[in-house]
Amino acid sequence: MAGSEPAATAVAPPDTVKILIAGGFGVGKTTMVGSVSEIVPLRTEESLTVAGLGIDDLDGIEKKRATTVALDFGRITISRELVLYLFGTPGQQRFWFMWNDLAIGALGAVVLIDVRRPESSFGAIDFFERRGIPFVVGVNGFHGEHPYPPEAIRDALALPEHVPVLLCDARERESCRDVLIALIDQLIAAAVEADRGGGDDGGGGLTRRGR
């Protein structure tokens, strides 16, 4: 019958999944997205009205004004049926409420750390930990330099053992790929575990620490 349930197009739309690339402002998120993306990173903007929000570092921002939050993202086509998107989260503290929306449905996250100012990524770690979203930590060595071994960084950040810490260089494709693979391996290990566990008694959840 004409006109009922149109067969959309010849091309079936792919399934899509996403991974977040998080961390403090200027830590190398967009660089990392660009290193592994098959497209030049795209920028999409969201206009918002920021009404104070009770945050103290609104340097120079009026009490209430429209502002724009930019998201940089890239794409990796896994197959004709599956496409992976990488989203850089907005790095400025006052836009974190946007992360909630972004985090919904994400496979997991990479938290990038700048060894020169790791505290700028503490918030990102807290965010994913609290929500039980699996993540790995990538230590972005600027100019490829890594003054600290991963274990020292793990201790300094008080990261639980199941969170992988990798030294990386956000400018290098292979390096970024390895960070993403570490995340997926962590997810696979958890999936296998959950499978084996069967009877789900809470199973010690992937990213939960004892409260």
Task: Give residues in contact with other proteins (CB under 8 A).
Answer: 2-3, 6, 8-9, 11-18, 36, 42-47, 66, 68, 71, 73, 75-76, 78-79, 82-85, 87, 102, 104-107, 132-134, 173-174, 177, 180-181, 184-185, 187-188, 190-192, 194-195, 200, 205-206
> Least distance from C-beta 139 to other proteins, angstroms?
19
Question: What pairs with residue 45 in β-bridges?
Answer: 70
CB nearer to other proteins: pick between 67 and 93: 67
Single-letter amino acid, residue 120? S
Which string of DSSP letters, residue by residue, matches 58-112? -TT--SEEEEEEEEEEEEEE-SSSEEEEEEEPP-SGGGTHHHHHHHTTEEEEEEE
CB nearer to other proteins: pick between 160 and 205: 205
Give the burial class of 27: count Cβ atoms within 10 A of its Cβ; 0-12 exposed, 13-18 middle, 19 or more buried: buried
> Least distance from C-beta 19 to other proteins, angstroms?
9
Spatial neighbors of 208 by CB under 8 A, at least 6 apart, are 132
CB nearer to other proteins: pick between 162 and 177: 177
CB nearer to other proteins: pick between 36 and 153: 36
> Least distance from C-beta 193 to other proteins, angstroms?
9
> Least distance from C-beta 147 to other proteins, angstroms?
28
Pick from 131, 110, 99, 82: which is nearest to 186 by CA? 110
Question: Do residues 134 and 205 touch, judged by C-beta distance below 8 A?
Answer: no
Q: Which two tokens stand for residue 1?
A: 């019958």
Residue 198 region by backbone torsions, left for phi larger than 0, else alpha for psi between -120 and 50, else beta:
left
CB nearer to other proteins: pick between 116 and 173: 173
CB nearer to other proteins: pick between 161 and 200: 200
> Least distance from C-beta 47 to other proteins, angstroms?
5
In order of 97, 101, 112, the CA distances from 186 in angstroms are 26, 23, 17
> Least distance from C-beta 118 to other proteins, angstroms?
26
